[in-house]
A and B are shown apart, each in its own frame.
Chain A
Amino acid sequence: DIQMTQSPASLSASLGETVSIECLASEGISNSLAWYQQKPGKSPQLLIYGASSLQDGVPSRFSGSGSGTQYSLKISGMQPEDEGVYYCQQGYKYYTFGAGTKLELK
């Protein structure tokens, strides 16, 4: 099975600060990488798919990049509504999720 290692486990950012979250796959996944945001008591919401494609309705401050085994999510200008837990997920061989990154507003 493909393992997804996400870092950091948690971070705190100030309003307007740029934030990056990393995800490392245990083998190459050909850009089949998605990012989800989950708020307390809610189901995860798709942000990015195909490593860099923005899901409809997602603010443009969210962006994704990477290739091979290394991927990242960037939030350009932290907003209060961006607080939550972020998960990466590979879709190369069915699905595997990372353990999550908890993002808080400082």
Chain B
Amino acid sequence: QVQLKESGPGLVQPSETLSLTCTVSGFSLTSYSVSWVRQPSGKGPEWMGRMWYDGDTAYNSALKSRLSISRDTSKNQVFLKMNSLQTDDTGTYYCTRDLAYSGGGPYYYVMDAWGQGASVTVSS
């Protein structure tokens, strides 16, 4: 059974750094990529970045200067760190499993499993 679970502080001070952990089970981080997605209340989701199955990373260009994603495969964990937080970074943060699929051509990715989400409030 594929599961992902986010954990981390619910409240972060402005200008501080957010640290979140995604703990996965039911699949291997060396076989599947994991993305981080955030969603402000009442708005659509925003992809933040991806930890590829081979250890490489990719970031949303809008967040790249503030964001770092890493992993510990021995613990089945993926980590997110984002610095210089502001109030508009408030929202729910999800980690997702990225499933590759192909219609006979290039491979594309889709988020086939999501964690329950971690609510983050940026406030003093």
Contact = CB atoms under 8 A, between A and B. Distances in A.
Interface of A: 1, 30-32, 34, 36, 43-46, 49-50, 53, 55, 87, 89, 91-92, 94-100
B108 A96 contact: no
Chain B binding site: helix, strand, loop or mixed by DSSP? strand
Interface stretch (B17-25, B45-53, B67-75): B45-53
Contacts of B117: 43
Leading 6 A-B pairs by shortest Cβ distance:
A95-B47, A43-B114, A32-B108, A49-B110, A91-B108, A97-B44
B110 A91 contact: yes
Contacts of A1: 61
Interface string B106-118: 1011111011110
Contacts of B44: 87, 97-100
Interface in B77-124: 94, 99, 101, 103, 105-106, 108-112, 114-117
Contact of B45 (A30, A45, A53, A87): A87
Interface residues of B, number: 26
Contacts of B114: 43-45
A50 B45 CA distance: 19
Contact of B105 (A30, A87, A94): A30
Nearest to A48: B110
A89 B58 CA distance: 18
Which of A44, A45, A53, A100 has most B Cβ within 10 Å? A44
Contact of B101 (A30, A53, A99, A100): A53
Contacts of B65: none
B65 to A, nearest CB: 16
Contact of A97 (B46, B106, B109): B46
